[in-house]
Structure 1
Amino acid sequence: MSAPLTISRLAPDPDGLDFAALQKAGLAFVQELSGNHWTDYNAHDPGVTILDQLCYALTDLAYRSALPHEDYLAAADGAIDLRRHALHLPQDVFPSEPVTDDDWRRLLYDRVPEIDDVWFDDRGAGLVDIKLKACDDPGANVATAAVRRIFAADRALCQDIARVVVLRTRDFYLSGDIEVRSMRDAAEVYADIVFQCAQQVGSGLRLHDYAQAAGDAPALDELFSGPFTEHGLIRAEGRRHAHAAISTLRLIGVIRGIEGVRKVHRLEVLDEHGRPLDSDPADLPDGEVPRIPLDQQDRGRLNLHFMSKSEAELGADDEGRQDGAPARSNAALRDAARPHLNKLRFERRTVRERQASLEHLVVEPRGAGKPLDHYYSIQHQFPAIYGINAYGVPASAAPETRAAARQLKAYLYIFEQAMANYVHGLANIGQLFSIQRNARRSYYTRPITDYMLPDIEALYTMAPHEIAGKLDEIRQCFDPHEDRRDRVLDVMLAMYGERYTQQSLRKFNFYFSARQDMRAWLLENKRAFLVRIAAIGKHRAAGFRYDLPAWNTDNVSGAHRKIAILLGLHSLRCCRPLCDVLRRHGLRIVDGGDADGASFDQLLERLESRAATPELRVPREVLHQAFPHDGDSAPADVTALTPAQKRRLRLLNMKSEGFHLIEHTLLRPRRAADDATAKDGFYSFQVSVVFPGWTVRFASAEFRKLAQETVTLNLPAHVMPNFYWLGHDDMEHFESLYPDWLDKLRAVVNASQQAVEPTDGMLEALDEASAGLRHFLQSLPADAGPRSRWV
């Protein structure tokens, strides 16, 4: 068994809290530096006294630097704002959307109490049949609608429902002889036997309390593996496929585990005609699932033989009982067991619907709420004869003595200011390790006041608030806050196994001339990734919610959202009209040297006046003039642009950037046979990724290569992308088709979720919209696409 890959913790400085070790090291340095001029290193020497005080202060700083991590992030009351520090509870960060069939079974069993079990059948091309076993017939329609709603919310990319089928149930009954030795009521034992056998046959899923499951000592990442189930931990422990036959041996094992059961002498399973099943029964016909009804009626012949109960409960001794006695006993037991069965049924339904408590399993971290910012000067610890502690110099002291004390106080101030800044930095670690915007510092300073160091303000040549300003100016000279902030964000991302390499984006810096603007933009990209880290991890394989509005929203797939952040496209809605910003300014981008195209000055005039009519045709080369790339130089009239003009041109480009991601599975014809759809390779686990090709950055061949690689690497491995880079006219045509298709798809899905079959008119309208999108994509010229990539 291979050892887990771990990184050993860095041990704290072994000498940091050891005063004697610090003093010894300090004396060694002093002797090395001044051995020829200083010969007295005894305790009475003022230099040694100062060294001792500084060593003592360093032990305090070392102690404050070795506190539990929670203390640095906690507020005064000990509470930690987890969201502010991009921290998440295990149940929020470990679970994922359902990926496997077992994931889906557990999720649907958790969310839909009207079903006993659920199974998935793969139809190909991302289509699945969902087979349900309803708890009872009246709940079948409710269960079907609920399953469709949950599937729409949690489906994977390129996955869709072909059919939801409610399976027919076929009743079976118990027959046999069971020996019981217990003080329990006979009806309770009978009810337990019937109920647990019904559970074993009825479902292959078992619900466990999270606290009970944690007692088996699994790690939290194992406990919360797959989708998070709100009502407890659900495990697949029984039936693995819908039409599996009943296993008598498994039922015997279940009965033996019931309290009071001593021995199972005989057990048979009878069909509705009273015929016993074979010892090795075949699976049930397709479309049927077995059920053991709680009301065994007169068809079940389950006899309980009590070894330690009074004969009054049995009616007669087993050996002397007549032929009709067991039947009368069974009938009496069934009648007496009904209240217990109803109680068990109610308890099971309550457990299915009760919200699981994680209170004792997952405890939110808290800090001690220690005041880390408090600084207490070492000069308080000096002997009074030095005249620098709170008592100062005696009133009778000579002016030379006063001056000497003030000189020593000023000399020690340099060391104290460094230590006060260090303490202030510790108190602001929570600011550094946070997802706050526009963090402009990574080191911190604070002026030392009379409260910290008596009479220090009298030595200042300016007011304390001016001292604070001067200290901050010094800090700015030595604070590489962008670099340190970048590394801190890397550490925070690494906690979730993620990284965000910005070198590629830095290479395509077409829009920012000032270095700090580019760095700020790159840091904001990384911060945006960290803000959404839990959702990105959970929804990494998920598709968009096709039952909700999607156009001009952030309702996109998990891969779409992550790719947008990695390409720096997160500041606007992910699914939006990319031609909209040009349309609002009355602009149309045309390719090639259009003789009727506008000049650069006309473009600037339109942006400044915001006049939208008449439409202004702008050659793509003119749009690019303000941001030369690929070795080009800017024309002379462009270099004279004002910052406001450059900003307008930059926003015009950046607001036109984005992409659309279309799942081919959802474009399938709804009135065609599913088998025919599965055989058409166009619909099978493919997506089309549509980019605008007219902006400065998106026109770069190198950036297009980066964008396609980013998409390919962040899509699920089984999904193949096809890339299209469209001009303005083609994109406008596409964006006239795409929202119409989204609306028609949502109408069909919402009708299905209401347990109402979509009308032929709705399906015909969706098929026409889907065909229009497919034909448009397949008709694009070779230079626009498609270009397919596969990992």
Structure 2
Amino acid sequence: MAEHKTAAHAGPSLARRQTQQPDSFNQLKQQGLADIVSLAGKRWTDYNLHDPGITLLEQLCFSLTELQYRCDFDINQLLSNADGQIDYASLGLVAPQHILTSRPTTAADYRRYLLDQLPQLADIYLQADDSSGLYSAQALVASADIDVTQLEADIRRCYSAQRNLGEQLGEVNLLTPLACQPVAEIEIRAAADPVELLAEFYYCCQQLLQRSTERQSYADLLAQGHSYTELFDGPLTPGGVLQRAGQSASVQLHEFFQPLQSIAGVVQLTQFALRCNNNLYYDSLPLQQGLALYALQLPGDNADLSVQLLVGTKAVSVDITAVMQRYQQKLFRQQSRWQTDPDRLCPLPQGRYRPVAQYHSLQHLLPAEYKLALSAAQLQPPQWQLKGYLLLFEQLLANFLAQLQQLPALFSPGQTSQSYYWQTLTEQQISGISQLYPADINAQLAKLYQQFDNVLQRKHRLLDYLLALYGESLYQHSLQHYDYYHSAASSSARRLAQKIRYLKHIVTMTRDRVAAPDHYAPLWRDAVGGFVQKQAIVLDLGQTAQSLTTAVLQYKLRLSSKQRLQSLYLDETRADNLLHSVPAIRLLFAPDSAKARRRLASAVCLQADTLPQQMVQSGVALSNYRISLQQQRYQLLLKVPDSQHDEWWLCGSYRHYRSALILANCLSRFLCHISHTSEGLHLVEHVLLLSAKARARVPADYYAGRITILCPNWTARFADAGFQQLVSESLQLNCPAHLSCQVLFISFERMHRFERLFKYWRSAMKAQQDAVAESVALAQYLYALRKAAGLEDADAPAD
């Protein structure tokens, strides 16, 4: 009790803060004194405050706390530029409305998306067939004067732009809403505006009839306290968020009375009904194919007006034209309130520029007796010696602040030139500094820091951190074993560029990772889909936006799995003086440039228009080339891969060794170029070939839940069995679990024929034709390829 009374009668006080921060002034000083004791305790026993060494220690500790203070600035201040703006795109940061939203994945999501994209739709309902992957749609046109054929085409086009793998829109049934005309008798107050009241009456009826498409704006939902996670659940729809995901079972007229009775100026709703198909309904409205689909029928003139306004027992006349104008204004205001600019929806944090790199020398804080503030002409040797001693510490402090100022460049994915930063001090900061620095101080500091600045390794770690912000990672260890096209020095830079591409397309890599190709987009450019785009980056493929055979055909060449070149048989072990390895030299022109083509024109191996596939696979590596001197001519030879004998192909013959050397390097780079740019994949969803089911000679279960991915087998990497397994595992792992994914590796000739059939089929799909003949041809050829790979048991159709 005594202790309790003592505490109760104690005066107000602040408890002493117990801190264990290692970078506080006292902690730094105590640590410094402990280090001095351990290092110089036998020679230095005076640690009083008057000691100059202790004074310098205190100033250094104080300067370190200044670094801590600047590090504690908000991150948006440290990332802002001189204008106070933050370049979010260059930092790999994405706004919440783009990274949190998803593609349509359910029937309710598609309904929400389509109603947002197509104002000519009054409503639409989709139903999925789980066995086939087809959606059927029942759409309600907004008005009778809309072209239903064009509307159906627009629905299919919009659906295709957001389609997911293994799905397709099948039958679209367009319905005309039942026209409902209000029949009512309303007693109003004498002071009420009849035009405003009647316009509000029709507006309320319209809202109640089409309650299934009622929306709210994102701004209103944010104001109501909804979090970003709740707000961005589903596709982003700038036209507002639907309040009801499902369809209405029916419309009950008793639900109209309370809203209509609450209109300002209404005394009593004495009579109310809805006329549909010349019938009056007082309880509920009839359904149309099981759906509650209605549209408000407005009066064209006063003769069509079926709503009577009364003041007492006296009828009130009203200008119906003015009523309709006011009604349209209300609708426009409502739709405007729903509209939201996605880029302004979530204001991104703005920074305040902080010049954290500005350095204030600790010499200005030392006692005046040290005489360090004198001009350079007045300084004595002891002062110069102390300045030089302190510069060792001050340079570290200044470099730390320079590093802090360069945080935007450090975290920018596109900045890969350096990761360590420094600054040189000026005469304004420290008098006489120019006499302490060597003349080439900037060059020496740059050379010094470059020795320790492992840019690629540090950038890899920073990019891993940025990817982790989105819950993503990119494992590249397996790809390093199949890097046929780059040297060991450039391989790490290539992997870094791959991570940068992944981060720049982070929205596609996450939100659109199972997006299907849009068959209304231009072929070979945009019609690839998010699934293919992600796999192209993950596997570091050369391209996805063009034909895979174009990389060879554009040079008027073809590849053949059976073609061979002129062969020589030389025993390499017994002809060391005849066969010389080819060293790598630097070429100052691109592998596909006109100058390179002129060099390659003299190659014997390129005289014909058909090359062996094996040459593309083997010719990418300089180690497979040899130069032989025979009959006073230098012959460039290429080792035949998997040859049982010492077989070589003749690539060129020259009078000078230099010409053969240049050809070998030029040919290797050219084959690397066409090999890498031929790497990609084509994805075919069997459900899209359903129109061929009646005519194509394939099994009945060929169409449901299957996708086939075609890859080349003529490139250096894709000819490697290990890389083929890596590709197959990656594609099957990232494919949606409900789909069966099979990967085929086919020759150049088969790929060329497939792409021709695929192009005809895509053109017919884009033109919105039935595409039956094109689907039959593509389905049968694809089935034949699967049968040849052992993926089908039935007899394959004729090739």
TM-score bracket for the superposition, by shorter chain length = 0.7 to 0.9
Corresponding position of 1:224: 232
Corresponding position of 1:102: 108
Corresponding position of 1:527: 500
Contact 1:93–1:534 (Cα < 8 Å) also in 2:
yes
Corresponding position of 2:690: 668
Contact 1:110–1:352 (Cα < 8 Å) also in 2:
no
Whether 1:157 aligns to 2:127 is no
2:256 to 251, 254, 262: 251
Corresponding position of 2:425: 448
Q: 1:711 deviation in Å?
A: 1.4
Of the structure 1 ranges 357-366 and 556-565, higher mean CA displacement relative to structure 2 is found in 357-366
Please tell me the residue identity of whatever aligns with 2:777. Answer: G
Corresponding position of 2:631: none
Whether 1:383 aligns to 2:367 is yes
Of the structure 1 ranges 296-305 and 496-505, higher mean CA displacement relative to structure 2 is found in 296-305
Corresponding position of 1:754: none
Corresponding position of 2:550: 580
Structure 1 CA distance, aligned partners of 2:398 and 2:642? 51
Structure 2 CA distance, aligned partners of 1:55 and 1:170? 82
Corresponding position of 1:513: 487
Structure 2 CA distance, aligned partners of 1:677 and 1:274? 54
Q: 1:689 deviation in Å?
A: 0.5
Corresponding position of 2:312: 314
Please tell me the residue identity of whatever aligns with 1:667. Answer: L
Whether 1:469 aligns to 2:454 is no
Structure 1 CA distance, aligned partners of 2:700 and 2:99? 38
Structure 2 CA distance, aligned partners of 1:372 and 1:598? 69
Structure 2 CA distance, aligned partners of 1:262 and 1:256? 7
Corresponding position of 1:129: 136
Q: 1:493 deviation in Å?
A: 1.3
Q: Name the SS of the counterpart of 2:752 in structure 1.
A: helix
Whether 1:561 aligns to 2:561 is no
Q: Per-residue displacement from partner, 1:439-476 (whole Å, max 9, x unpaired)?
A: 0321112233333322122123x31xx22222122212
Please tell me the residue identity of whatever aligns with 1:234. Answer: L
Corresponding position of 1:742: 762
Contact 1:688–1:721 (Cα < 8 Å) also in 2:
yes
Change (3 A) 1:376 1:580: same
Change (3 A) 1:137 1:236: same
Q: Per-residue displacement from partner, 1:11-45 (whole Å, max 9, x unpaired)?
A: xx963773233223322322233222222212221
Corresponding position of 1:347: 330
1:31 to 33, 37, 43: 37
Change (3 A) 1:165 1:263: same
Q: 1:527 deviation in Å?
A: 0.4
Structure 1 CA distance, aligned partners of 2:273 and 2:791? 63
- In the alignment, structure 2 segments of 5+ residues that lack a partner are 1-18, 571-578, 583-595, 625-640, 650-659, 794-799
Of the structure 1 ranges 633-642 and 662-671, higher mean CA displacement relative to structure 2 is found in 633-642
- Give 1:67-82 correspondences, 5 Å limit: 67-82=73-88
Corresponding position of 2:617: 623
* TM-score with structure 1 setting the length: 0.81
Change (3 A) 1:32 1:134: same
- Give 1:676-691 correspondences, 5 Å limit: 680-691=700-711
Please tell me the residue identity of whatever aligns with 2:44. Answer: W
Contact 2:299–2:305 (Cα < 8 Å) also in 1:
no
Change (3 A) 1:59 1:257: farther
Q: Name the SS of the counterpart of 1:162 in structure 2.
A: strand
Contact 2:187–2:270 (Cα < 8 Å) also in 1:
yes
Q: Name the SS of the counterpart of 1:440 in structure 2.
A: coil
Please tell me the residue identity of whatever aligns with 1:314. Answer: G
Change (3 A) 1:342 1:149: farther
Structure 1 CA distance, aligned partners of 2:394 and 2:383? 16
Corresponding position of 2:281: 276
Contact 1:726–1:784 (Cα < 8 Å) also in 2:
no
Whether 1:427 aligns to 2:405 is yes
Structure 2 CA distance, aligned partners of 1:337 and 1:599? 99
Contact 2:252–2:283 (Cα < 8 Å) also in 1:
no
Q: Name the SS of the counterpart of 2:719 in structure 1.
A: coil
Contact 2:184–2:272 (Cα < 8 Å) also in 1:
yes
Q: Name the SS of the counterpart of 2:177 in structure 1.
A: strand
Whether 1:412 aligns to 2:390 is yes
Q: Per-residue displacement from partner, 1:206-231 (whole Å, max 9, x unpaired)?
A: 22232211122111232122222223
Structure 2 CA distance, aligned partners of 1:351 and 1:271? 26
Contact 2:199–2:323 (Cα < 8 Å) also in 1:
yes
Q: 1:145 deviation in Å?
A: 4.6
Structure 2 CA distance, aligned partners of 1:549 and 1:599? 50
Structure 1 CA distance, aligned partners of 2:750 and 2:277? 65
Change (3 A) 1:63 1:179: farther
- Give 1:235-246 correspondences, 5 Å limit: 235-236=243-244, 240=247, 244-246=249-251
Of the structure 1 ranges 633-642 and 439-448, higher mean CA displacement relative to structure 2 is found in 633-642
Structure 2 CA distance, aligned partners of 1:665 and 1:416? 70
Q: Name the SS of the counterpart of 2:744 in structure 1.
A: strand
Please tell me the residue identity of whatever aligns with 1:498. Answer: E
Over the matched positions of the two proteins, sequence identity in percent amounts to 28
Structure 1 CA distance, aligned partners of 2:215 and 2:121? 13
Whether 1:403 aligns to 2:381 is yes
Structure 1 CA distance, aligned partners of 2:648 and 2:40? 66
Corresponding position of 2:357: 373
Contact 2:238–2:342 (Cα < 8 Å) also in 1:
no
* TM-score with structure 2 setting the length: 0.80
1:770 to 772, 775, 782: 775
- Give 1:47-62 correspondences, 5 Å limit: 47-62=53-68
Change (3 A) 1:162 1:361: closer
Change (3 A) 1:427 1:677: farther
Q: Per-residue displacement from partner, 1:264-315 (whole Å, max 9, x unpaired)?
A: 7876545433443556x7633468833342439899976778xxxxxxx233
1:700 to 693, 706, 720: 720
Q: Per-residue displacement from partner, 1:88-112 (whole Å, max 9, x unpaired)?
A: 2222322233222222222222222
Q: 1:120 deviation in Å?
A: 1.6
> Alignment length, in residue pairs?
715
Structure 1 CA distance, aligned partners of 2:462 and 2:164? 33
Corresponding position of 2:678: 656
Change (3 A) 1:295 1:205: same
Whether 1:205 aligns to 2:205 is no
Contact 1:597–1:618 (Cα < 8 Å) also in 2:
no
Q: Per-residue displacement from partner, 1:310-349 (whole Å, max 9, x unpaired)?
A: xxx2335xxxxxxxxxxxx4xx46x456634542333314
Q: Name the SS of the counterpart of 1:661 in structure 2.
A: strand
Corresponding position of 2:669: 647
Q: 1:678 deviation in Å?
A: 14
Corresponding position of 1:539: 512
Contact 2:80–2:86 (Cα < 8 Å) also in 1:
yes
Contact 1:599–1:618 (Cα < 8 Å) also in 2:
no
Structure 1 CA distance, aligned partners of 2:422 and 2:396? 9
Change (3 A) 1:577 1:593: closer
Structure 2 CA distance, aligned partners of 1:172 and 1:581? 62
Change (3 A) 1:408 1:537: same
Structure 1 CA distance, aligned partners of 2:368 and 2:216? 69
Of the structure 1 ranges 366-375 and 188-197, higher mean CA displacement relative to structure 2 is found in 188-197
Of the structure 1 ranges 256-265 and 158-167, higher mean CA displacement relative to structure 2 is found in 256-265
Q: Per-residue displacement from partner, 1:92-148 (whole Å, max 9, x unpaired)?
A: 322233222222222222222223222223356333333322232113446445434
Q: 1:54 deviation in Å?
A: 0.8
Change (3 A) 1:787 1:432: farther
What is the aligned-residue RMSD (CA, Å)? 3.9
Please tell me the residue identity of whatever aligns with 2:295. Answer: R
Please tell me the residue identity of whatever aligns with 1:457. Answer: S
